Structure 1
């Protein structure tokens, strides 16, 4: 989940680095999330993945349209099982077998190259307060049993994507790494099970979160290319957090007898908005630094060799929960409509840069803004803005964000337009008690982009109509797709 700041090199060095990337990176993957109000058509995303040279994709569930678009695409697929399904799969072998048939066997027979099943997603996060401690391992066992029964266990491996908070080091040195004391026995049981079934350990590593959570965290240590305060651990020197965090896991595995267990970096990245440290410059710097770092094929001090990784994430998701922070909706290396946010050399194409999505259909070039005649002291303004932001996306507004330099009128207009676009430019969605008006003049300024929404894929998004009259708000939820199916 992340984005970074500027990374520049001379043309000669750039050519050399590009050649290194092409030679050394066997294949970089991407996380493709679906928590968006207006998803790009799956076929458009699959084409974008291929044209950018991605060889692997990680999904958080097995949505039918997405899986069908991946048929005969040549992309390796890690398909996920949401956490809310773990309890059912843990208690029912039959449910696990049915899930594997519907979401693995049938798609493989149809031409989808499924290589992994991700059982849950960071189920042991401390913020979950143990909600999935009892169900994750039994679900993992039942899914593995179902894969064996289906004759797929050699081709498809199980794994559990885990946050890096499942291990720790009391001293800060990787060599003191071990699994978290409250889940250590459970982790060792899972690790042994993965090892017995020739399956990998999957970990999500986020230096950005450390920077976000700790104001004293050394900024340079989050990036690649050297730090003035490296961590020295016996003969190993760590000048970036990724290597140190990764090797803390390797040490935890090694000291418990599983030093050779394969490790996949399931998520790594940097957000571009929603926080003072989440911006395009830092995102580019981090992601390009990571790509250049793994291009050497040298790995980390404790685990030399190629690193298997999936960037987080492919596309912004405007409906992700912002409980962890406003940055959660801005992890994509592409915007919601498939535009590259910055130059990033994945080492997979001749252009050396990202290729935008093709055949994207937009709504009309019009925006909803605050009427110039409205007095900012009007009592209707504050509740209107609150309503718009609660039902759309205002995470680009705030201190040192992409739209943080606008005046009050600009902020209000941004909120109104976000709601208007999310509701497919319905005229009623630009009412706001007669405070707003529709304009054909783009109000975007500097780094702040006032979006024009894309046409929703297959009618997935719902339209929310707002009618305000005499201070009474009536919210009509119109289930468009359901209505159409009933005609």
Structure 2
């Protein structure tokens, strides 16, 4: 039967959407604060065996980077907070950092260098002012080394958002704008990089379980929970991410891609911290990122699960139990990373 031109356009649009959604990156955060972790090569083999194609590292750990050589696993690597000021104030320090931690590992597939972790001027008053300059210095050092393909950004926490409810009201804290947020956005736009942020529905739920339904936080709600103008939300994760989109629109960065560099659900140590809830959250999260958000329905959402393996050296107790795997690499539950 001959299709009408309108039908043909609709089918083409659906096909394009499916292709775009297939490109969604889901990865894991590989933390190392555990006293019985298996060797990096064994963990990298675990990552490969589970078809995990994207990981985040919090520092350029030499043993891990050596294990990643030649694997084609996409890597976000962090500049530790205590090195940021030196990099920002001395270009030669930035050059050395790139030479020793990036160029040295020429067969590692670096995707981003993130300057610091969960930056917030209130929590990091001695570091945050140096973030924009450090981003520029690392970017210049990458360019000089012929590595422009590696993007530079910083990982922010949701605490930089002053208003997040409803999502369309999302806005950065005004006191952070001029000296912190605005220069970061300007840099990201200039270098075609992305906006990295950690998003935790768990903490929002745990802080107000009376008013936030558990199924809304776990992606298991059967109906719309929040209506925000034309946008309808069945899960808290999308609502939180769209508050970031709205904040970027108000701050002159509507075209920036948002990448969620940490999210997850713990299995012990807090409110509703069970294995079944962690499984529900992470498995449903993987399905959701392919659809985008209500505010960005045609844009897939790259997302990294926190974390890969439990880290028993952390405090308080809640922080020890975010891994998909136990310290001996045994899975707590089965989550598929296969596209």
TM normalised by structure 2 equals: 0.89
User: Alpha-carbon deviations, 1:394-413, whole Å to 9, x = none?
Assistant: xxxxxxxxxxxxxxxxxxxx
User: Which residue pairs with 1:211 in the alignment?
Assistant: 205
SS of 1:77 mapped into structure 2 = strand
- In the alignment, the residues of structure 2 paired with residue 139 and residue 222 of structure 1 have an alpha-carbon distance, to the nearest angstrom, of 36
- Where structure 1 has 5 or more consecutive residues not aligned to the other structure, the ranges are 1-19, 349-487
Q: Confirm or deny: 8 A CA contact 1:25 1:347 kept in the other structure.
A: no
User: Which residue pairs with 2:8 in the alignment?
Assistant: none
- In the alignment, the residues of structure 1 paired with residue 170 and residue 222 of structure 2 have an alpha-carbon distance, to the nearest angstrom, of 21
2:172 to 179, 189, 205: 179
SS of 2:128 mapped into structure 1 = coil
2:38 to 37, 40, 45: 40
User: Alpha-carbon deviations, 1:418-460, whole Å to 9, x = none?
Assistant: xxxxxxxxxxxxxxxxxxxxxxxxxxxxxxxxxxxxxxxxxxx
User: Which residue pairs with 1:407 in the alignment?
Assistant: none
User: Which residue pairs with 1:272 in the alignment?
Assistant: 267
Q: Is 1:284 matched with 2:279?
A: yes
Q: How do 1:152-167 and structure 2 match up within 5 A? A: 152-153=147-148, 155-167=149-161
Q: How do 1:215-226 and structure 2 match up within 5 A? A: 215-216=209-210, 217-226=212-221
How many residues align? The count is 318
Q: Judging by fraction of residues, say which structure has more helix.
A: 2
Q: How do 1:219-238 and structure 2 match up within 5 A? A: 219-226=214-221, 230-238=225-233
1:256 to 243, 246, 251: 251
SS of 2:129 mapped into structure 1 = coil
SS of 1:158 mapped into structure 2 = strand
User: Alpha-carbon deviations, 1:121-141, whole Å to 9, x = none?
Assistant: 012174x25232222222112
Q: How do 1:246-395 and structure 2 match up within 5 A? A: 246-294=241-289, 297-304=290-297, 305-322=299-316, 326-348=317-339
User: Which residue pairs with 1:414 in the alignment?
Assistant: none
User: Which residue pairs with 2:50 in the alignment?
Assistant: 52
Q: Confirm or deny: 8 A CA contact 2:50 2:336 kept in the other structure.
A: no
User: Which residue pairs with 1:142 in the alignment?
Assistant: 137
- In the alignment, the residues of structure 2 paired with residue 345 and residue 70 of structure 1 have an alpha-carbon distance, to the nearest angstrom, of 21
Displacement of 1:214 in angstroms is 2.5
SS of 2:137 mapped into structure 1 = helix
Q: Confirm or deny: 8 A CA contact 2:168 2:246 kept in the other structure.
A: yes
- In the alignment, the residues of structure 2 paired with residue 142 and residue 261 of structure 1 have an alpha-carbon distance, to the nearest angstrom, of 21
- In the alignment, the residues of structure 2 paired with residue 137 and residue 192 of structure 1 have an alpha-carbon distance, to the nearest angstrom, of 9
Displacement of 1:82 in angstroms is 1.1
User: Which residue pairs with 1:75 in the alignment?
Assistant: 73
User: Alpha-carbon deviations, 1:450-477, whole Å to 9, x = none?
Assistant: xxxxxxxxxxxxxxxxxxxxxxxxxxxx
Displacement of 1:345 in angstroms is 2.7
User: Which residue pairs with 1:118 in the alignment?
Assistant: 114
- 1:276/1:298 CA distance change after superposition, 3 Å: closer
Displacement of 1:271 in angstroms is 0.7
- In the alignment, the residues of structure 2 paired with residue 49 and residue 291 of structure 1 have an alpha-carbon distance, to the nearest angstrom, of 16
Displacement of 1:256 in angstroms is 2.5
1:243 to 233, 238, 241: 238
User: Which residue pairs with 1:106 in the alignment?
Assistant: 104
User: Which residue pairs with 2:60 in the alignment?
Assistant: 62
User: Which residue pairs with 1:351 in the alignment?
Assistant: none
Q: Confirm or deny: 8 A CA contact 2:224 2:232 kept in the other structure.
A: no
Cα RMSD (Å) of the superposition? 1.9
User: Which residue pairs with 1:194 in the alignment?
Assistant: 188
- In the alignment, the residues of structure 2 paired with residue 82 and residue 345 of structure 1 have an alpha-carbon distance, to the nearest angstrom, of 31
- In the alignment, the residues of structure 1 paired with residue 305 and residue 233 of structure 2 have an alpha-carbon distance, to the nearest angstrom, of 22
Displacement of 1:200 in angstroms is 0.6
